Amino acid sequence: MKKLLITLIAIALTGYLLFSVSYFRHRSRNRVCDRFSVVIADSARLRIISSREITQLIRRHKLDPVGKTFGEINTLAIRDTILTSKLVASAEVYTTPDGSVIATVSQRKPILRVISSTRGHFYVDSLGDIMPVSGRYAVYVPVATGYIDEEFARTRLCDFVRFLNAQPRWDVWVEQIVVQRNREVILIPRAGDFRILLGPLDDYRSKLSKFTRFVDEGLSVVGWNRYSTINLKYENQVVCTKR
């Protein structure tokens, strides 16, 4: 008798739970969305796209959820539309019990601006992907100029800039990267009126290490403006040209 009673109680609880889930799901699907909010997750550090621009993008594709029932709203379609923006890295779209739809958006992070003699202006992001340049935003990153195609920017240059960013000393040192037609690189520093001839980007770590030793042991003693060029292209030596 006791086992039968326990079984009946278990069946009743299961039935109640199934009914509750079905009831609240139906009620939720019929609830009308009264607010669409966009949260730019990393806007405190970077601002290349705004909540307003995301909202306008959604409206252009006729996906604005406000005034629709939750059953009519396709959050996956809203997310996929947001991801069509070349300024967006990731997005999540979800509903809330208070009748809102919220989109949380992460921006792509530019690490290099390219002013190419052949391909025009563009940014390269932290993943090595190309980003468009817009008058709506400006990002303070190193600038690369000269004979640069997108493949070279996405691979060799991007790896080089990642290395600079990881080294606090070099991150503040380099203002401009000039790429010549033969792919040799010249660095223009923020301090000092001289040029650093790096040569090809092969073995740039040892070349920069050699320059750091030269600064610590020589340049800081003789003065920053003694030379017009500092050539790091040759193995185990630094060749300087006096003014």
Query: Phi-psi bin for 52: left (phi > 0), alpha (psi -120 to 50), beta?
Result: alpha
Q: Which of 178, 174, 186, 189 is nearest to 224 (CA)?
A: 189
- Based on the fold, state whether residues 59 and 155 are members of the same structural domain: no
Residue 11 belongs to a domain = no
Domain identity same for 171 and 86: no
What are the two backbone dihedrals, phi and then psi, of residue 31, each rounded to the nearest 5 degrees?
-75, 140
- What residue spans of the chain are helical by DSSP H? 2-29, 51-60, 75-82, 150-152, 158-166, 168-173, 204-214, 220-222
Cβ proximity of 108 and 129 under 8 Å:
yes
CA-to-CA distance for 9 and 24, rounded, in angstroms?
22
Give the domain CATH number at 181: 3.40.50.11690
Residue 4 has pLDDT above 60, yes or no: no
Q: Are residues 89 and 194 in the same domain?
A: no
Query: What confidence tens digit (pLDDT) does each residue in 92-103 have?
Result: 999 888 889 999
Edge-to-edge strand ranges of the sheet holding 88-95: 35-40, 100-107, 88-95
Task: Say if residue 63 is in the same domain as residue 132.
Answer: no
- The enclosing H or E element of 99 equals none
Q: Return the higher-pLDDT residue of 104 and 6.
A: 104
* Better-scored residue on pLDDT, 213 or 91: 91
Give the best-scoring range by mean pLDDT among 9-18, 22-31, 71-80, 187-196: 71-80
Residue 168 has pLDDT above 70, yes or no: yes
Q: How many CB atoms lie within 10 A of CB 177?
A: 23
pTM of the model: 0.75
Say if residue 23's pLDDT is above 50.
no
Rounded Cα gap, residues 46 and 172, in angstroms: 19
Q: Which of 82, 107, 132 is the last residue of a domain?
A: 107
pLDDT at 83 over 90: yes
Q: Which domain holds residue 90?
A: 35-107
**Percent of the chain at pLDDT exceeding 70:** 84
Instruction: Convert the pLDDT of each residue in 194-219 to its tens digit.
Output: 889 999 998 899 888 888 887 777 66
CA distances from 145 to 10, 112, 116, 179 (A): 73, 11, 5, 6
Which CATH number belongs to the domain containing residue 90 in this structure? Answer: 3.10.20
Degrees (nearest 5) of the Cα angle 46, 51, 57?
Answer: 120
In a domain, 228, yes or no: yes
Tell me, what's the pLDDT at 2? 52
pLDDT level of residue 32 (50, 70, 90 thresholds): confident
Residue 84 lies in a domain: yes
The number of domains in the chain is 2
Average pLDDT over residues 120-133: 91
